Amino acid sequence: MTKSIVTEPSIENTAPRAENTAPGTADTAGADDFPLTGLDSLHFAVGNATQAAFFYSVGLGMRCVAYTGPETGQRDFRSYVLESGDARFVISAALRSGSDLARHAEAHGDGVTDIALAVSDVEAAFAHTVARGAQPLEEPHEVSDDDGTIVRAAIATFGETRHSLIDRSRYHGVYAPGYVPREPLGRPEPAGVFHEIDHVVGNVALGKMDEWVDFYHRVMGFTNMQEFIGEEIATKYSSLMSKVVADGSRKVKIPLNEPAPGSRRSQIDEYLEFYGGPGVQHIALATDDIVSAVRRMRAVGIEFLTTPDSYYEMLPGWVGETHVAVEELQELGILADRDEDGYLLQIFTQPTGDRPTVFYELIERHGAQGFGKGNFKALFEAVEREQAKRGNL
């Protein structure tokens, strides 16, 4: 294993794309063979990291905890590390044009470059995934400073997204070598509005969903949690297909969407056009108090999708009683759904950047393990109303 200085953010995907890997070319991984311990972080490439970090601090209540840039000796990029509970975002922007980081932001707009996974053994995880068909991007290597050592590697996944494989067990610094502690930006509330990342949703091209589902089965031993096909996720205008893959502990859940034929462009088609290909569509943030979270976010200007009053007239009949009165759900535009394990409350923001691509979900679970299947029609109709305003339906 090699040692290196800090190389974040290294996002160039020069390996052949994993779409070219035929399903079934390697044995399916066992759920216990891939040493996954959880989700380490989400990395974003943006046009202006300073402004984006401020937005996430004020808008989502995240706390800035670490930083690297010219003041720390980093001459190529600027990065802010923000946390809320167990969730960690790393927001990076290039300081000069021509770099891969700058190219990524120009090609895709602000978006996720890396769904970084925490593993207990990077070398074993990397060898395991590559042996089963994953495209290697970074060989296992160590990054060290006086606070210890981080071991990392990386493989490719859908579009230009990657999975870094990270072991922090021997590191005790603020985030990683090359980063220094940073005072919070803006005025985030001490507890923020969410405590972890519930799931990360990827959009892929038509006909590619099953290939990527197979990738996660084969390479990491993930299994299907749910799938939604055709009429289950459809309006009179558009449709999509979706399957949810997850590790055995359900610490990492990745719904994968592809467009389906319809009379007009679906939200997936719109995303693929404006993002310039496959990528992360939205991030679901787990909260223990969705009512307070929505009120706080609205107060600082975060905009959510709207839901017609007719939705709430029918809601008690199929969801039953929740700890939030239906009148308050209606006031705030919060959706509800129930499955055999309990119920959930959820709401979706408008796209948070200039392009109609990345957005966020707040989700409060009370036993339910699903993803709001009963709300899909109402959600997609709300998205279509916004698409029509943009002229993209």
What is residue 6's DSSP assignment? -
Q: Each residue of 18-45: pLDDT tens digit? A: 443 433 444 555 556 899 999 999 999 9
What is residue 24's DSSP assignment? T
pLDDT of residue 184: 87
- 253-260/239-246 β-pairing: antiparallel
Identity at 259, one-letter amino acid code: P
pLDDT of residue 330: 95
pLDDT of residue 189: 59
* Tally of CB atoms within 10 A around 32: 9
pLDDT of residue 24: 40
Q: Each residue of 149-197: pLDDT tens digit? A: 999 999 999 999 999 999 999 999 999 999 999 988 877 555 568 999 9
> CA-based Rg of the chain, rounded to a whole angstrom?
20
φ and ψ of 390, to 5 deg: -85, -10
**What is the overall mean pLDDT for the chain?**
88
Question: Considering only CA atoms, which of 51, 64, 63, 58 is closest in space to residue 296?
Answer: 58
Which of 125-134, 239-248, 272-281, 319-328 shows the lowest mean pLDDT across its residues? Answer: 239-248
pLDDT of residue 388: 79
pLDDT of residue 15: 40
pLDDT of residue 262: 66
- Which domains are seen in the chain, by residue range? 2-181 (3.10.180.10), 196-390 (3.10.180.10)
Q: For the residues 355-370, what does the mean pLDDT come to?
A: 95
Residue matched to tokens 């970074």:
138
Question: CB-based contacts of 328: which residues, under 8 Å, 6+ apart?
Answer: 291, 334
Question: CB-based contacts of 20: which residues, under 8 Å, 6+ apart?
Answer: none
